[in-house]
């Protein structure tokens, strides 16, 4: 007799007696046979499901390894994973997979392509973000070969979509930079035109080059200032030598003197033109013709030429004015001298 605190089913003899009593019941035997038959049929009719995975290792455009990307300013793995997931489960990509491999034919024929896309997204196509910058794309199918080719194709389409996205971003950035460059060039041309017009209207106000005390008045480049100062000194020395040679070698009467202000303005204009031409040659040796520095150097050369022409005209006018005044003075004093001689 079993103990009072022992459960009846814990005794093997009790369990065996209950089983024998159940086997003598026709209903229990019938249910047992039906359940076993259904299990055997389902085991033979159901097909195994195979899963194929493709691992993706993300790298930036420079080919930086994932460890360096985590230490730098690259996008976070979570952000990249969200972007790749959206690309993979986009309607266009999944429709392309279904059409290429003829997937879900019954669903497409009965409910349409949209239902097949939903079935692929919910059941068979998966995207998993692993640790770091490693991602996995998998596809489930009853055919191992089909699962493998669909997973590989999905990963390839995802890679192509990501490349197109990056190319579009680069093109958009290039369009923005080109627009900014054209805007800056237009502003530079407008400013140069305004400056040239101001120089033409006010030649006595604008002084481009070395001002009093050797300071550069309108250009902030130290190299340009030094070059302009050397050109100015060289022209002054050559002018003095030429005047001495003309006065010592020529037996003709000396030419009427040019005002000092006009001479200094002419020398300054010549020095500006020489320095501007040298600066333009240096810029052209380094950059293309469309570079802003080259365009600015060309504008400086044109302004220097215009300035030199104006100074030369002023010099000729001053020389002719001085010559006319001397001629008038000689004509007025000539008869009186002759009377004294007589």
**Overall domain count for the chain:** 2
In a domain, 136, yes or no: yes
Q: Is 35 inside any structural domain?
A: no
Q: Are 207 and 225 in contact (CB under 8 A)?
A: no
- 8 occurs within a structural domain: no
Query: Is the same domain home to 107 and 221?
Result: no
CA 218/CA 206 separation, integer angstroms: 9
Partner residues linked to 139 by β-bridges: 52, 125
Do 284 and 226 fall into the same domain? yes
pLDDT given for residue 210 in this prediction: 39
CB atoms within 10 A of CB 178: 10
pLDDT (tens digit per residue) in 60-102 = 655 555 555 555 556 788 889 999 999 999 999 999 999 999 9
Backbone conformation region of residue 112, classed left if phi is above 0, alpha if psi is from -120 to 50, else beta:
left
Give a yes or no: residue 126 inside a domain.
yes
318 is a domain residue: yes
125 and 234 in one domain? no
Same domain as 286, residue 232? yes
Q: How confident is the prediction for the chain on average, in pLDDT? A: 74
- The answer to whether residues 235 and 306 belong to one domain is yes
| DSSP per-residue codes, 92-134 | HHHHHHHHHHT--HHHHHHH-HHHHHHHIIIIIEEEEE-STTE
Please give, one letter per residue, the 3-state secondary structure of 148-194.
HHHHHHHHHHHHHHHHHHHHHHHHHHHHHHHHHHHHHHHHHHHHHHH
236 in the same domain as 139: no
Q: Is 248 in a helix, a strand, or coil? A: helix
Q: In this structure, what CATH number is given to the domain that contains residue 60?
A: 3.30.1890.10
Structure tokens belonging to residue 2: 């079993």
Q: What's the pLDDT band for 209 if we cut at 50, 70, 90?
A: very low
pLDDT tens digit string along 234-244? 565 666 656 55
Residue 115 domain-assigned (yes or no): yes
**219/282 same-domain check:** yes
141 sits in which H/E element: strand 134-141
In a domain, 335, yes or no: no
The count of other CB atoms within 10 Å of the CB of residue 97 is 20
Same domain, 229 and 301: yes
Q: What is the pLDDT of residues 131-186, one digit of tens each?
A: 778 999 999 998 999 999 999 999 999 999 999 998 998 899 999 988 888 888 88
Residues spanned by the domain of 237: 212-249+257-323
Look up the pTM and report it. 0.47
Task: Looking at the structure, tell me whether residues 60 and 169 fall in a common domain.
Answer: yes
The answer to the question of residue 101 being in a domain is: yes
133 and 223 together in one domain:
no
Are 62 and 118 found together in one domain? yes
52 vs 272: CA distance, rounded Å: 76
């Amino acid at each position: 007799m079993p103990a009072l605190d022992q459960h009846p089913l814990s005794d093997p003899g009790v369990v065996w007696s209950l089983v024998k009593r159940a086997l003598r019941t026709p209903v229990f035997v019938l249910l047992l046979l039906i359940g076993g038959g259904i299990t055997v049929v389902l085991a033979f009719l159901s097909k195994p499901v195979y899963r194929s995975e493709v691992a993706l290792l993300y790298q930036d455009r420079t080919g930086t390894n994932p460890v360096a990307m985590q230490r730098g300013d690259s996008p976070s793995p979570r952000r990249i994973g969200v972007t790749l997931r959206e690309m993979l489960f986009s309607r266009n990509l999944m429709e392309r997979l279904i059409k290429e491999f003829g997937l879900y034919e019954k669903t497409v024929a009965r409910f349409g392509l949209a239902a097949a896309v939903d079935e692929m997204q919910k059941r068979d196509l998966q995207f998993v973000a692993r640790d770091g910058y490693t991602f996995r794309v998998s596809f489930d199918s009853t055919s191992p070969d089909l699962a493998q080719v669909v997973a590989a194709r999905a990963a390839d389409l995802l890679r192509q979509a990501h490349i197109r996205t990056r190319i579009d971003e680069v093109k958009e950035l290039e369009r923005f930079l080109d627009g900014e460059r054209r805007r800056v060039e237009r502003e530079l041309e407008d400013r140069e035109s305004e400056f040239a017009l101001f120089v033409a209207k006010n030649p006595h106000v604008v002084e481009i080059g070395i001002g009093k005390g050797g300071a550069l008045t309108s250009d902030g480049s130290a190299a340009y200032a030094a070059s302009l100062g050397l050109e100015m000194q060289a022209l002054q020395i050559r002018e003095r030598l030429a005047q001495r040679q003309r006065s010592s070698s020529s037996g003709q009467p000396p030419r009427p003197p040019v005002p000092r202000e006009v001479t200094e303005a002419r020398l300054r204009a010549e020095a500006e033109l020489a320095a501007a031409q040298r600066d333009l040659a240096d810029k052209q040796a380094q950059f293309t013709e469309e570079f802003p520095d080259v365009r600015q150097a060309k504008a400086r050369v044109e302004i220097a030429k215009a300035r030199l022409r104006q100074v030369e005209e002023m010099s000729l006018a001053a020389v002719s004015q001085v010559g006319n005044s001397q001629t008038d003075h000689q004509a007025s004093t000539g008869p009186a001298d002759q009377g004294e001689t007589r």
